[in-house]
Amino acid sequence: MPVGTRATVRGLTPEELHATGADMVLANTYHLWERPGHRLIEQVGGLHRFMAWAGPILTDSGGYQVFSLRDRLRISEEGARFRSVLDGQYRMLTPEVVVEVQEALGVDVAMALDECVELPATPEHTAEATARTTRWLHRCLEARQHPERTALFGIVQGGLIPELRVAHAEELTALDLDGYAIGGLSVGEARDRMLEMVELCTAHLPADRIRYLMGVGQPSDIVDAVLRGVDLFDCVLPTRAGRHGQAYTWSGRRNLRNARYATDPEPLDPSCGCPACRGYSRAYLRHLVKCDELLGKRLLTAHNLHFYQQLVSRVRRAVQVGDASALQAVREDAGRATRRARDGGPQVARSGPGV
């Protein structure tokens, strides 16, 4: 899912988003609750109509964003009280609020409120947060008014503690939820640890329900997570990298600020059919990036989303037909795409507050 935090995937129209191959988009409960407000969106016909997106929409609860506020946050059993960055007002995100907001938005999939712990965390703190996540999930389930319209996914927490992850996955499975998310990963831990936790979770979550890995990730992370049973992803990387002048290609991430592109008449990726690659030279894209021009952000965003959709479509096909060599090939290609191309440039942060 491309990330459309504020009911827009930055710079793209819904038609362009659809043309990248995207079926489903993610928006953010917390951000839309603050601005323009869920009742306003409900009044004008719901989030689909508001943002003119006919496909499915999933909303993150916003817990992750609120928990990144740290010094502005106080967590209690009731919920997460925080001071809004927008207007300085105190607000309280509770399980009941996130369900009310998401049902008012009329989204297809709502996420339960969870408590993320910052790493490193003590086992005690991690266990507490995980237990509270379960209690909040129960409150979310009880608060639902329109289960027939809006599915609710629970979120497996448990930090980097295998026993906690397994126990939590089993606990949530027993609740027979619409779908399951794996949260609290890709927050700074080593990649192997992340994949280990993913594998533990998927092994203890039902295979006939969607298993969604939140906030992941680089192309290689996605392929490796699919190989461990994950069905659904969201990540700001393709859009954020695009806005910062970085382009994913099968030969590596290219930093369009690089001087080597200054007079390069070639398309960004000659094998790509996206609007950026069909219409312009690398020299022009570099110029747009250097000048911080809107068109550059827009074209590279579209390119990166197109690339990610190509990637997952290759993985999907290989999994569907059970073609092990095709899977291996896409795994290697994803590894190459994740690394910097020879022409280099600074790394893009792997994850963040998701705005």
* Residue 291 burial (C-beta neighbours within 10 Å; 0-12, 13-18, 19+): exposed
Which candidate in 114, 234, 269, 333 is catalytic? 234
Query: Which parts of 150-169 interact with a copy of itself (CB under 8 A)?
Result: none
Q: Which is nearer to a copy of itself, 243 or 350 (CB)?
A: 243
Question: Helix, strand, coil: what percent of the chain each, to 5?
Answer: 45, 15, 40
Burial 204-214 (b: 16+ CB within 10 A, else e): bbeeeebbbbb
> Could you tell me which stretch among 42-50, 64-72, 125-133, 246-254 binds a copy of itself (CB under 8 A)?
42-50
Near a copy of itself by CB under 8 A, which window of 143-151, 192-200, 205-213, 290-298? 290-298
Query: Which residue do the tokens 């004008």 mark?
Result: 44
Quick check: 303 binds a copy of itself (CB under 8 A)? no
Find the binding residues for a copy of itself in span 94-133 (CB under 8 A).
Answer: none
Count of residues of this chain found to bind a copy of itself when the rule CB under 8 A is applied: 39
How far apart, in whole angstroms, are the C-alpha atoms of residue 146 and residue 238? 33
Among 73, 295, 319, 326, which residue sits at the site for a copy of itself (rule: CB under 8 A)? 295
CA 48 from chain centre, in angstroms, equals: 19
Instruction: Decide: helix, strand or coil at residue 109.
Output: strand
19 binds a copy of itself (CB under 8 A): no
Q: Is 108 a catalytic residue?
A: no
Q: What separation in angstroms does the CA of 229 have from each of 159, 195, 321?
A: 19, 11, 15
Q: Which is nearer to a copy of itself, 8 or 68 (CB)?
A: 8
Burial of 114 (0-12, 13-18, 19+ CB in 10 A): buried
Q: Shortest distance, CB of residue 332 to a copy of itself, whole angstroms?
A: 33
What residues are annotated to the active site?
Answer: 60, 234
Q: In the complex, which residues of this chain contact a copy of itself (CB under 8 A)?
A: 6-8, 10-15, 35-36, 40, 43-45, 49-52, 262-263, 265, 275, 279-281, 283-284, 286-288, 290-291, 293-295, 297-299
